[in-house]
Structure 1
Amino acid sequence: MNLRNTIVYISLLLIGTTGAVLAQPSITSYKNGVAVCAYPDASKAGVEVLKKGGNAVDAAVAVQFALAVTHPQAGNIGGGGFMVYRSGKGEINTLDFREMAPAKATEKMYQDANGNIIPDLSLYTHKASGVPGSVDGLYEAHKKYGKLKWADLVQPAVDLALRGFTITKRLASDLNRAADEFTKLNPGKSYLIKQGGWQQGDILVQADLGRTLEQIRDRGRAGFYEGKTADLIIAEMQKGAGLFTRNDLKNYHSVWRKPITSNYKQYRVITMPPPSSGGIALVQLLHSVEKYPLRRWGFNADSTVRLIVEAERRVYADRSKYLGDPDFYKVPVDSLINPRYIDARMKNFSWDAATPSTAIQPGSFIGYESDQTTHYSIVDKDGNAVSITTTLNDTFGSHIFVAGAGFLLNNEMDDFSSKPGVPNMYGLIGGKANSIQPGKRMLSSMTPTIVEKNGKLFMVVGTPGGSTIITSVFQTILNVLEFNQTMQQAVSSKRFHHQWFPDDVQSEDGAFTEATKAKLQEKGYKLSRRGAIGRVDAILATPHGYEGGADPRGDDTTVGY
């Protein structure tokens, strides 16, 4: 059953004394399983797998490949991502299928002879792409935890590509906006372009992508990293002076990593370790605010906002120095999430005035010598849960298609620190820990997370959004744990963001009352408006079943049974 087709929307709902949420649906819960993701057809594909006896990982395979067809802005086979897994019996694991720098990559590859960054070289060229990890990641996840046949899980995506699917108003608009870039960067190709423009209700058929998915269906990992598809990828790389080779494809492998875990009051948080910065940052943020009476202050009240902003300011400063690929750089995980260290970082927070970001530097340790993604959350009837975030980096990645294969290349190389101290496309500053090296995985803000309560599954959550991912997941969790919001309310609530630099509090329109704005500005906080922050897709385990929260900022949809 499709929640968006059955729920009745009610008028705008105020939460607490300040701030608002987007239009709210009535609460629907599901006993047997639920999938929440960025496009209706992909959610449906996941739940159909659950109905056939598949588990959460089986459904994730179906959703991932369906999103590669229906959500080309970020759904992909040409990108990468992270998975947080929790079995119904409490086993936890995380899978890193982040993209990697090619063997020919160099630390200064995006700088000119004078050390200046060359505009757009790390964004909209063949050199912008890291070696993709999505196909390998889903294949490895299925090999370890899946139940149903691989081919049966990829087939729904094949059908969506070859038979076509009905596009939404939002997808039509996004495709039309990207048409000029597609044309400029893809001479001789016509993928995702329609003469006269796309309209809501049009049928989008992607024959070349469908044939590529058939290769993956029939040959598994080898259907992408070897054979015909690999030949097409390398031909595209050579045509555009790209860097990765057949050996780069052959040598790519995803990595199982130990989850980051921590407690927040009676809850246990299970989240992603480096090369995601999200898990460490989330734990730091939660501990930074844990001892304060957020519930009494209220949702988006001025005291709540000030505390959260000051915590975010310090956490993003740490991110800039200490976080990177742990296979190349010794990330001080234990030090960064040590409660005493986090408490010490907050000691210079004053209620008298905002702390200027110029006064905040990354912390130090004794003995210590670093916007476009998509997320989906799935839970099955046995309580197995996955939280998966994948990405192409920018919307539509590099905007460059692999000729003959029909899919987009990522521009993840921009997530490296192209030059220490120079912001990337999201304004994030990095250093040596996230410098470019061959075979290295670029730092990410992706924060797929699972929360337990009293040893049982409680929440599955994550979001796209570039540098805002961490703060969106953080605020969504607080909305449920501290402000007693339903899952849908927590996902829909208006959000704000701070990331150290630039030194301003970015907020969605309507996130703060006029009185709250005045109080914040009086204390020296710089406020700026921005468009939608994140697109959270989450699931809450309740006594009545699983409650999905699909972000109304996009085409995101909850489907369950």
Structure 2
Amino acid sequence: MKKNLLFLLLVLAACKNKPTQHQEIKGLSEYAVDAPGIQTFFDKKGVLAENGMVATAHPIASQVGADILKAGGNAIDAAVATHFALAVVYPWAGNLGGGGFLVYRDKDGHTYSLDFREKAPAKAHRDMYLDASGNPISGLSTLGHLASGVPGSVDGMVSMHERFGKLSWDKVVAPAIALANNGIALTEREAVGLNRVKANLLQVNAPDSPYYIRADKQAWKQGDTLVQKDLGRILSLIQAKKRAGFYEGECADLLVKEMQRGKGIITHEDLKNYHSVWRDAIVDTYKGFKVITMPPTSSGGVALMQLMKFVEPYPLKRWGWNADSTVQVIIEAERRVYADRAKWLGDPDFVKVPVKELTSKSYLKQRMNDFSFDKATDSKAVSGGAVPGYESNETTHYSIVDKAGNAVSITTTLNGGFGSKVVVQGGGYLMNNEMDDFSIKAGVPNMFGLIGNKANEIAPNKRMLSSMTPTIVEKDGKLLMVVGTPGGSTIITSVFQTIINVIEHGMTMQQAVNALKYHHQWLPDNTTYEKNAFSEATIKNLTTKGYNLVPMSGSLGRMDCILLRPDGKLEGASDPRGDNTSVGY
């Protein structure tokens, strides 16, 4: 245990780094300055480094990624090593049994995106979570074996490494194996999370399953050592056999056996047939900045570009950060974006998603025709827009930039915290509850309150819609920002506000991450906000106009971002709302 605590202290100490030698971006002197008057969650400072940066939800995972960069690996190598490390040290969302999205910009400016989102099993059907009266059965799509889609994470890691990796596969998987077998010291937040989920783990797993439960059945404490030998063995199979180590053989047998025990429907054939998909990234502009983001199956990229184009005509910089006019325009944009999301977004392999139409300036201008500064729009009067020719929390993110300037933005998830709470017996890894991200029934909200319709209904082998928004921003052909966050339905708005905080409000990357945030998603018709995000005058003004403002007891987002500053230094900005840590070298 002392060894693990010492290792964790060394990891945290590694965050004190040197200035960088990256090429300066000219004409950006207004960025990376200390913007005054910003209300922040915590006065955390950014991390600077010389050659590369890794920003993740956990200090050990960040250190693993940085070590791979130091060993000569590129951003993709570091991303793979980081992903598998997160599966060990951050079971809340790090995973083998989930999926996610990659947005990648190489050092020459070429862009790529990889969809390794989970799929519905072949036995899935539209009404599988409804009772005889056609009403959703509470908990069926969120807890237990039937809630899981076919995992995509391992296939995604293999696919990106085979295409862009530099170091050997053996080397990038090795750190996670060592962490699983030797044990890791729990942070305070990890201990609290495991204690909170104990009852669910006992409810859905085999009685003799020891996973994530202390041997003496007592509560976990900060500094306790968590050893995961079964997970280490599965990681060794993946190291030895790559994709086949997970989707075939012993691991596949264990997964299918676990599904059969709990009346799940994932089969050997589902595992064999799963493959991630390379897609064309959404590449668009905002005031001369190039934005590179994720296309469907994620709704994040489409929604982000809609938000940015909605607000582009308005003088946000002059109005100021979280001023009443700024907030009003953003709320109204978010209201319309989430209405469009409900109507139009789904798996592009199953439905035609009108991406260009939804992000065109003429369409968005028309969508704001009924907006008035005098009063709030009623969400009941807002529906998905008319597109000609068409018919009608828990996740983790990591950002990496290497010495050459290759940039990775990855968001990956189990959906809810600890996913479906099902641990594959003999495998030691958690399964996702991504099936809840489908539209279980038209007009019925999912666990994040998001409404869906026909475009996102359940179908065999279909990918469920996501809000994940991994994003990279360029200025004048040079890398500027790598951005992303977990947070379910709030991912899109948190990413959007963080980017705007830098571009419009002159914040450093860490200030933009620290800054207090707010969220509106069409339905329910209210705006949730972090405590102190709005001044009393702003609250009074917006309330008078009919906006329903609801303060949160918790927080929004767990950002992990990187900014290439005007002086050429990389600034790693990890969220003070969690154990998030940036490590560079």
What TM-score comes out, normalization by structure 1 length?
0.97
Aligned-residue offset at 1:403: 0.3
CA deviations 1:167-215 (Å, max 9, x no partner) are 1111111111111111111122111112221111111111111111111
**187-196 or 399-408: which moved more?**
187-196
Find runs of 4+ consecutive structure 1 residues off by over 2 angstroms: 1-8, 13-17, 22-28
CA distance in structure 1 between the partners assigned to 2:260 and 2:501 by the alignment: 49
Q: Is the 8 A contact 2:11 2:60 kept in 1?
A: no
CA distance in structure 2 between the partners assigned to 1:125 and 1:408 by the alignment: 11
Q: Is the 8 A contact 1:7 1:25 kept in 2?
A: no
CA distance in structure 2 between the partners assigned to 1:269 and 1:104 by the alignment: 38
Aligned to 1:538: 561
Percent same amino acid among aligned pairs?
A: 58
1:549 correspondence with 2:569: no
Q: Is the 8 A contact 2:35 2:508 kept in 1?
A: no
CA distance in structure 2 between the partners assigned to 1:3 and 1:287 by the alignment: 39
CA distance in structure 1 between the partners assigned to 2:550 and 2:493 by the alignment: 16
Q: Is the 8 A contact 1:30 1:547 kept in 2?
A: yes
Cα gap change, 1:27 to 1:389, in 2 (>3 Å) = closer
Aligned to 1:102: 121
Aligned to 1:188: 208
CA deviations 1:142-178 (Å, max 9, x no partner) are 0000000111111100011100111111111111111
Aligned to 2:538: 516
Query: Equivalent residue of 2:197, what SS?
Result: helix
CA distance in structure 1 between the partners assigned to 2:334 and 2:124 by the alignment: 32
Aligned to 2:80: 61
Query: Equivalent residue of 1:378, what SS?
Result: strand
**91-100 or 19-28: which moved more?**
19-28
Aligned-residue offset at 1:288: 0.4
CA distance in structure 1 between the partners assigned to 2:47 and 2:256 by the alignment: 47
**514-523 or 97-106: which moved more?**
514-523
**328-337 or 183-192: which moved more?**
183-192
CA distance in structure 2 between the partners assigned to 1:493 and 1:52 by the alignment: 35
What TM-score comes out, normalization by structure 2 length?
0.93
Cα gap change, 1:425 to 1:349, in 2 (>3 Å) = same
Query: Equivalent residue of 1:393, what SS?
Result: coil
Aligned to 2:30: none
Q: Is the 8 A contact 2:87 2:93 kept in 1?
A: yes
Paired residues for 1:360-375 under 5 Å: 360-369=382-391, 371-375=393-397
CA distance in structure 2 between the partners assigned to 1:73 and 1:320 by the alignment: 27
Aligned-residue offset at 1:365: 1.8
Aligned to 1:497: 519
Paired residues for 1:296-307 under 5 Å: 296-307=318-329
1:111 correspondence with 2:130: yes
Q: Is the 8 A contact 1:398 1:411 kept in 2?
A: yes
Aligned-residue offset at 1:385: 0.5
Structure 2: any 5+ residue segments left out of the alignment?
A: 1-9, 18-32
Aligned-residue offset at 1:219: 0.8
Aligned to 1:209: 231
Aligned-residue offset at 1:27: 4.4
Q: Is the 8 A contact 2:97 2:429 kept in 1?
A: yes
CA distance in structure 1 between the partners assigned to 2:519 and 2:308 by the alignment: 15
CA distance in structure 2 between the partners assigned to 1:533 and 1:83 by the alignment: 22
CA distance in structure 1 between the partners assigned to 2:304 and 2:495 by the alignment: 8
The one-letter code sitting in structure 2 at the alignment partner of 1:113 is A
Q: Is the 8 A contact 1:504 1:525 kept in 2?
A: yes
Aligned to 1:85: 104
Paired residues for 1:241-320 under 5 Å: 241-320=263-342
Aligned-residue offset at 1:23: 2.6
Tell me the matched-pair count. 556
Aligned to 2:583: 559
Q: Is the 8 A contact 1:62 1:157 kept in 2?
A: yes
CA distance in structure 2 between the partners assigned to 1:370 and 1:175 by the alignment: 43
Cα gap change, 1:26 to 1:124, in 2 (>3 Å) = closer
Aligned-residue offset at 1:26: 4.0
Aligned to 1:428: 450
Query: Equivalent residue of 1:78, what SS?
Result: coil
CA distance in structure 2 between the partners assigned to 1:277 and 1:6 by the alignment: 34
CA distance in structure 1 between the partners assigned to 2:170 and 2:541 by the alignment: 58
Q: Is the 8 A contact 1:318 1:370 kept in 2?
A: no
CA distance in structure 1 between the partners assigned to 2:36 and 2:299 by the alignment: 31
Q: Is the 8 A contact 1:375 1:464 kept in 2?
A: yes
Aligned to 2:27: none
**445-454 or 529-538: which moved more?**
529-538
Aligned-residue offset at 1:432: 0.4
Cα gap change, 1:7 to 1:305, in 2 (>3 Å) = farther
CA distance in structure 2 between the partners assigned to 1:259 and 1:348 by the alignment: 31
Give me the CA root mean square deviation: 1.5
CA distance in structure 2 between the partners assigned to 1:4 and 1:498 by the alignment: 38
Name which of 193, 200, 222 aligns with 1:174: 193
Cα gap change, 1:176 to 1:27, in 2 (>3 Å) = closer
CA distance in structure 1 between the partners assigned to 2:13 and 2:292 by the alignment: 29
Cα gap change, 1:321 to 1:308, in 2 (>3 Å) = same
Aligned-residue offset at 1:16: 4.7
Q: Is the 8 A contact 2:47 2:583 kept in 1?
A: no
Q: Is the 8 A contact 1:100 1:440 kept in 2?
A: yes
Aligned-residue offset at 1:5: 6.5
CA distance in structure 2 between the partners assigned to 1:88 and 1:296 by the alignment: 34
Aligned-residue offset at 1:529: 1.7
Cα gap change, 1:370 to 1:132, in 2 (>3 Å) = farther
Q: Is the 8 A contact 1:164 1:204 kept in 2?
A: yes
CA distance in structure 2 between the partners assigned to 1:110 and 1:250 by the alignment: 25
1:135 correspondence with 2:157: no
Q: Is the 8 A contact 2:343 2:384 kept in 1?
A: yes
CA distance in structure 2 between the partners assigned to 1:273 and 1:310 by the alignment: 23
Name which of 58, 72, 76 aligns with 2:95: 76
Q: Is the 8 A contact 1:377 1:460 kept in 2?
A: yes
The one-letter code sitting in structure 1 at the alignment partner of 2:474 is E
Query: Equivalent residue of 2:414, what SS?
Result: strand
Aligned-residue offset at 1:28: 3.6
Q: Is the 8 A contact 1:3 1:558 kept in 2?
A: no
Paired residues for 1:403-482 under 5 Å: 403-482=425-504
1:397 correspondence with 2:397: no
CA distance in structure 1 between the partners assigned to 2:202 and 2:46 by the alignment: 44
CA distance in structure 2 between the partners assigned to 1:165 and 1:345 by the alignment: 51
Name which of 504, 507, 528 aligns with 1:506: 528
Cα gap change, 1:29 to 1:6, in 2 (>3 Å) = closer
Name which of 165, 178, 189 aligns with 1:159: 178
CA distance in structure 2 between the partners assigned to 1:441 and 1:115 by the alignment: 23
Q: Is the 8 A contact 1:319 1:370 kept in 2?
A: no
CA distance in structure 2 between the partners assigned to 1:173 and 1:108 by the alignment: 36
The one-letter code sitting in structure 2 at the alignment partner of 1:532 is S
Query: Equivalent residue of 2:39, what SS?
Result: coil
Name which of 54, 66, 73 aligns with 1:47: 66
CA distance in structure 1 between the partners assigned to 2:392 and 2:403 by the alignment: 40
Aligned-residue offset at 1:515: 1.6
The one-letter code sitting in structure 2 at the alignment partner of 1:365 is V
